[in-house]
Amino acid sequence: MMKKKSNNLYLGDRQPLNTMGKIGLGLSYMVLILWTIAILWPIYQMVMSAFNGMQQEYIIMNKGFEFSFDHFTFLFEETLYPKWMLNTIFISISTAIITLLFVSFTGFAYSRYRFKGRKASLMAIMIIQTIPSFAGLTAYFTMYSIISDVLPFFNRQMMLILIYSAGGIAGNTFILKGYLDSISMELDDAAKIDGCSNLKVYKLIILPIARPMLAIIALWSFLGPFMDYLLPKVILTNPEAYTLAAGLFTLIADKENMNQPAFAAGGLLIAIPTVILFTVLQKQLISGLSSGAVK
């Protein structure tokens, strides 16, 4: 009688790995492990430096360790860190709201309507994204001078919000348009047959379905001011108006006032708003509300 070879059977009728396949799999795991270490090691150093009371101001790592909140106390008592945090949160929330408001309309218009200049404007949006933001510094200062002369209350922080929002609207419009193109037009037609206007189609049909993508756009728009250093450093001249990136850099830019552990503590605290936003938008980020919408 013939013996059944059950030890080589794989689910899905997969063939067993040969020698080269096993070597490739091992190399893949090795690369992933090394990549994980490369990501986690700087985070580990930051956490240890932030909570190590034995560290001196000029040393980022020390042999000894003593748990302490001294560096966090230094941030809140000796620097303008609370002000920098409030400035960054204000700029980030304002940027996210303005970007979402305009992108939701522009993405809907480019996806659902055919108008003159549509393709040319979409091409212009793609080209604009290839130009780095710092290339327009001269134009930003000229715009600020013109707007501030007309609107005396317009300050440099508002100018920064305007720059972030304009750049976000251009790029995210193209992204949202591609997402809405995947939604069947039958939903729009069915709503119009039931008496819905174009505005009601946008409000009752498109927005609920596009909520996951809008959540991602909101997240990107919110995180932008937290990660940007160049524009706030150039445009914001008053240290009290700095964002976190520009403010924290002052802790390591000057050798006389350098405090690297406090810089690490400040960088660790930046993650708190990001974690909160991820928690709030978690359901939207992982949901697919358009699945099964057309019956």
Residue with the larger pLDDT of the pair 182 and 65? 182
The yes-or-no verdict on residue 10 having pLDDT over 70 is no
Asked if 243 and 88 touch (Cβ cutoff 8 Å), the reply is yes
Rounded-to-integer distance, Cα 254 and Cα 129, Å: 34
- The pLDDT > 70 percentage for the chain reads 87
Run of H or E including 247: helix 244-253
What is each CA distance from 37 to 41, 43, 265, 270, in whole angstroms? 6, 10, 21, 22
Start-to-end C-alpha separation, the chain: 55
Could you tell me the pTM of the whole model? 0.79
Mind listing the domains of the chain with CATH numbers?
Answer: 74-286 (1.10.3720.10)
pLDDT in tens, 130-152: 777 777 777 888 888 888 888 88
- The pLDDT > 90 percentage for the chain reads 13
pLDDT in tens, 67-112: 888 888 888 888 899 999 999 999 999 999 999 999 988 888 888 8
Q: Return the pLDDT at 7.
A: 52
Instruction: Output the six-digit token pair for 136.
Output: 């327009």
3-state secondary structure of 75: helix
